[in-house]
Amino acid sequence: MAALAGAVVGLALSIGVLLGGPGRVLTQPLPVLFPFARLSLAVDGLSAYFLLVISLVAIAAAIYGPAYLRTHSPEAGPARQAAQVAALNVFLGGMAFLCCAGDALTFLLCWEGMTLASYVLVVSDDEDGENARAGLLYMVMAHGGTALLLVAFLALTERAGAFDFAALRVAAAGLDPTTRTTLFFLALGGFATKAGVVPLHVWLPRAHPAAPSHVSALMSGVMLKVAIYGILRFGFDLLAPAAGPLPSSWGWTVLVLGTTSAVLGVLYALQQHDLKRLLAFHSVENIGIILIGVGLAMILWRQEGAGALATLALAAALLHTVNHAAFKGLLFLGAGSVLSRTHVRNMEELGGLARRMPWTAGLFLLGAISISALPPLNGFVSEWLTFQALLGSASRFHGPAGLAVVFSAAMLALTGGLAAACFVKAFGVTFLGRPRTAHAEHATEAPPSMIAGMMWLAALCVALGVAPGYAMRLLDAPTAGLLHGPAASAVVTAQGPLVLSTALSSTGTDATSISMTMVAALLIALAAMAWVLRRGWQHAPRRAAPTWTCGMSPTARFDYTATAFAKPLRLIFAALYRPRREVTRETAGTPYVVSRIHYAGEIVDLAETEIYHRVERHISALSQAIRARSTGRIHGYIGFVLGALFVALLLFGVARR
């Protein structure tokens, strides 16, 4: 309940700020906790927008959560449930206050609170040791990221002599370009770890599925966005030079990282059979799509005559932020309903749930269409804007830069197609066909409060898809406030809220305009006409018969499995997956009578094998080498410590001079 109340307050506050005009900033000093720093909150357009995203998903999670915890693990004691609820509230509070932080210390404290609370939630649902391992990996990677952030922040606060953002901006204005870029990349590293950007994503597909489903929805839908907020805050606000464009390396790095994450995220998602893990990999993909927009905005910002284009790119990224929060939240909640009813996450053991859980299935299908960037729902709108931004900047750049941008557009198209394939698989194997196990056979519909939580997010998906023009007004404050250029609604909805239009060429003569509302209306009208056709001329008989299985009596084993569905793509992209399979045959007496075939297959995550395992090998080799030197004699160790101290002092002295 506290979470719901907090979310509603957050929603009201953020809409107030967003509609109050671009220059409006709410500041609120906090009680003094530390003698050396004043803590404060400052809500400007960007903060308010992210607060809005957090609140929208938090409302759904708060409606959905209690029933989920009750039905999913009724055997859990009150202590564990209380711990989960408390951690959820700390988690939500941490994220909300982080976006409103007015100084570095509040930011870091909330960042840490958010990380720790989500860690508690990840390990809270522990049935085997798997979650604890996932939590440990998450903890290590998150703190590696935090360390990078800490260095970036402390370098700034040391120059500024204060913690509040206003002082940091002043201090950053005087930085030389090399330091500025170094600090940006440190911060980018920290935020990218949290956002799950390839190759820093390895923790994400393990930790997100481990948490209770409404927390997974929050972690994927919202917590990753907080990292995007951090990148935007650092790139466009704190570290931005006083005048002139950002260093070109920033935007291009973000663009390349985004494109890589988008393609690899969806490719790995395609081969997952764990429903929640599949969704977690899709978060990597969608963060990539958001980063494409962010990177493009960074490249274009303050370039001559590219004001509108930069706004378009940023608006695309921000819109995809809220869109992803809506549909990924919806999908995780849907997966949670399936999980709470069947206690199975592996979709090979599901199937046939659409007849048993029709509401959940319908809402999941809606989310699947949204995330596959298909019209007329919301995923399409933000990808369309991203495409327009990419095309617009491609015609500005010439040479390799333009080609890179266009290539990124092609990769975005590939991502959309693969996402559609992936969700046909996810939806089809989980909800359609026949139930493959007794778990799925005996599933029943989720309780109404869980359906209600999903309905809220589904309504958002539809509203943002059919009438996206109205959401553009909410983007005015963050875009205008951050870029000091034209506002989003002036660029995108110049022809009224029902029409999205962009001036693609730099001259601005030929605008591309689409109207999601009109297309949706046409679609519905045609569907009504087709329904009449579907009913047929006269009321011909309708009967049910078994599915055609070449004359054998149909069983669930005739249904296509997820492994089989994804096999052609697994072979086509074998270079990325390095698939391995083992088929063992048990024969009865003679080799011609096969009594049983056992199949095992797996794919590798390229980042994991190529980077992490190598690093791991080097580290263990190094520790082995050190171990050979540890003789156990105390004075030897004292010698090492003294030597290290001496070197450190020497370095410090050199640096001071």
Partner 1 sequence: MIGPRPFALVLIEMALLVLAGPLVTGIIQKIKARLQCRQGAGVLQPYRDLAKLVRKGTVQADTASGFFRSIPVLVLAATVTAGALVPVVRLGPPSFPLGDAVMLLGLLALARFLTAVGALDAGGAFGGMGASREMTVAPLVEPVMMMVVFSTALAAGTTELGALAAHRGTSWIFSWHAADFLGFAAMLVLLPAETGRIPVDNPDTHLELTMLHEGMLIEHSGPGLGCMLLASHTRQIVSLALVSALFFPVGPVSATGATGLLLGAGTFAVKVLVLATFLALVESSYAKLRLFRVPQYLAVGFVCALTALALRIL
Query: Could you say which residues in the range 340-379 bind partner 1, by CB under 8 A?
Result: 351-352, 354-355, 358, 361-362, 365, 369, 372-375
For residues 490 and 483, the answer to whether their CB atoms sit within 8 Å is: no
Closest contact distance (angstroms) between CB of 127 and partner 1 is 30
Closest contact distance (angstroms) between CB of 640 and partner 1 is 56
Closest contact distance (angstroms) between CB of 577 and partner 1 is 14
Site for partner 1 in 110-149 (CB under 8 A): none
For residues 222 and 49, the answer to whether their CB atoms sit within 8 Å is: no
36 versus 548: smaller Cβ distance to partner 1: 548
Could you give the CA distance from residue 471 to residue 476 in angstroms, rounded to a whole number?
9
Q: Which stretch binds partner 1 (CB under 8 A): 173-181, 304-312, 507-515, 607-615?
A: 507-515
Could you give the CA distance from residue 168 to residue 157 in angstroms, rounded to a whole number?
6
Q: Which residue has the tokens 């260093």?
A: 247
Closest contact distance (angstroms) between CB of 351 and partner 1 is 7
Q: Which stretch binds partner 1 (CB under 8 A): 170-178, 204-212, 516-524, 582-590?
A: 516-524
Q: Which stretch binds partner 1 (CB under 8 A): 190-198, 220-228, 432-440, 579-587?
A: 432-440
7 versus 394: smaller Cβ distance to partner 1: 394
The token pair at 543 is 């009967």
Q: Binding residue for partner 1 (CB under 8 A) from 536, 551, 632, 653?
A: 536
For residues 482 and 236, the answer to whether their CB atoms sit within 8 Å is: yes
> Does 511 interact with partner 1 (rule: CB under 8 A)?
yes
156 versus 504: smaller Cβ distance to partner 1: 504
241 versus 497: smaller Cβ distance to partner 1: 497
For residues 192 and 227, the answer to whether their CB atoms sit within 8 Å is: yes
Site for partner 1 in 556-575 (CB under 8 A): 556, 558-560, 564-569, 571-572
For residues 193 and 228, the answer to whether their CB atoms sit within 8 Å is: no
Closest contact distance (angstroms) between CB of 543 and partner 1 is 6
Could you give the CA distance from residue 305 to residue 448 in angstroms, rounded to a whole number?
53
Q: Binding residue for partner 1 (CB under 8 A) from 81, 303, 449, 515?
A: 515
Site for partner 1 in 405-424 (CB under 8 A): 406-407, 409-411, 413-414, 416-418, 420-421, 423-424
For residues 321 and 290, the answer to whether their CB atoms sit within 8 Å is: yes
Q: Binding residue for partner 1 (CB under 8 A) from 249, 495, 587, 609?
A: 495
Closest contact distance (angstroms) between CB of 94 and partner 1 is 37
Closest contact distance (angstroms) between CB of 644 and partner 1 is 54
Q: Which stretch binds partner 1 (CB under 8 A): 43-51, 447-455, 541-549, 637-645?
A: 541-549
One-letter identity of residue 24: R
231 versus 422: smaller Cβ distance to partner 1: 422
235 versus 433: smaller Cβ distance to partner 1: 433
Q: Which stretch binds partner 1 (CB under 8 A): 112-120, 207-215, 389-397, 476-484?
A: 389-397
Q: Binding residue for partner 1 (CB under 8 A) from 248, 249, 549, 587?
A: 549
- Measured in whole angstroms, how far is the alpha carbon of residue 7 from the centre of its chain? 20
Look at residues 64, 52, 50, 4 and name the one whose alpha carbon lies nearest to residue 458.
64
> Does 427 interact with partner 1 (rule: CB under 8 A)?
yes
Look at residues 55, 50, 7, 47 and name the one whose alpha carbon lies nearest to residue 27.
47
Closest contact distance (angstroms) between CB of 84 and partner 1 is 34
125 versus 559: smaller Cβ distance to partner 1: 559
User: How far lies 188's CA from each of 297, 299, 317, 440, in Å?
Assistant: 15, 15, 17, 43
One-letter identity of residue 397: F
Closest contact distance (angstroms) between CB of 352 and partner 1 is 7
Contacts of 435 (CB under 8 A, 6+ apart): 350, 351, 352, 353, 356, 441, 443, 556
Site for partner 1 in 23-62 (CB under 8 A): none
Interface map 258-297 toward partner 1 (x if CB under 8 A) = ----------------------------------------
The token pair at 197 is 């950007």
Q: Which stretch binds partner 1 (CB under 8 A): 35-43, 199-207, 296-304, 494-502?
A: 494-502
User: How far lies 331's CA from each of 220, 417, 516, in Å?
Assistant: 10, 18, 23
For residues 238 and 172, the answer to whether their CB atoms sit within 8 Å is: yes
What number of other Cβ atoms are within 10 A of residue 655's Cβ?
7
How many residues of this chain interact with partner 1, rule: CB under 8 A?
99
94 versus 435: smaller Cβ distance to partner 1: 435
7 versus 419: smaller Cβ distance to partner 1: 419
Backbone angles phi, psi at 546, to 5 degrees: -65, 155
Our CA angle for 655, 656, 657, nearest 5°, is: 95
> Does 468 interact with partner 1 (rule: CB under 8 A)?
no
Q: Give the single-character DSSP code of 49.
A: H
User: How far lies 5's CA from each of 17, 64, 294, in Å?
Assistant: 19, 14, 32
Q: Give the single-character DSSP code of 598.
A: E
219 versus 306: smaller Cβ distance to partner 1: 306
Could you give the CA distance from residue 598 to residue 595 in angstroms, rounded to a whole number?
10
User: How far lies 472's CA from each of 310, 350, 382, in Å?
Assistant: 15, 40, 11
> Does 438 interact with partner 1 (rule: CB under 8 A)?
no
Instruction: Mark out the alpha helices in 432-467 (DSSP H runs).
Output: 438-441, 448-466
Q: Binding residue for partner 1 (CB under 8 A) from 402, 447, 497, 579?
A: 402
37 versus 424: smaller Cβ distance to partner 1: 424
Q: Binding residue for partner 1 (CB under 8 A) from 350, 432, 464, 483?
A: 432
354 versus 480: smaller Cβ distance to partner 1: 354
102 versus 334: smaller Cβ distance to partner 1: 334
Give the SS3 label for residue 436: coil
Could you give the CA distance from residue 283 to residue 207 in angstroms, rounded to a whole number?
12
Closest contact distance (angstroms) between CB of 435 and partner 1 is 9
Site for partner 1 in 196-235 (CB under 8 A): none
Q: Which stretch binds partner 1 (CB under 8 A): 150-158, 287-295, 397-405, 648-656?
A: 397-405
547 versus 631: smaller Cβ distance to partner 1: 547
Site for partner 1 in 574-593 (CB under 8 A): none
> Does 548 interact with partner 1 (rule: CB under 8 A)?
yes
Q: Which residue has the tokens 């030929």?
A: 510
Could you give the CA distance from residue 524 to residue 134 in angstroms, rounded to a whole number?
45
Instruction: Mark out the alpha helices in 301-357 (DSSP H runs).
Output: 307-342, 353-356
Could you give the CA distance from residue 202 to residue 451 in angstroms, rounded to a whole number?
31
Q: Binding residue for partner 1 (CB under 8 A) from 36, 537, 592, 599?
A: 537
384 versus 456: smaller Cβ distance to partner 1: 384
Q: Which stretch binds partner 1 (CB under 8 A): 251-259, 273-281, 401-409, 608-616?
A: 401-409
What number of other Cβ atoms are within 10 A of residue 536's Cβ?
9
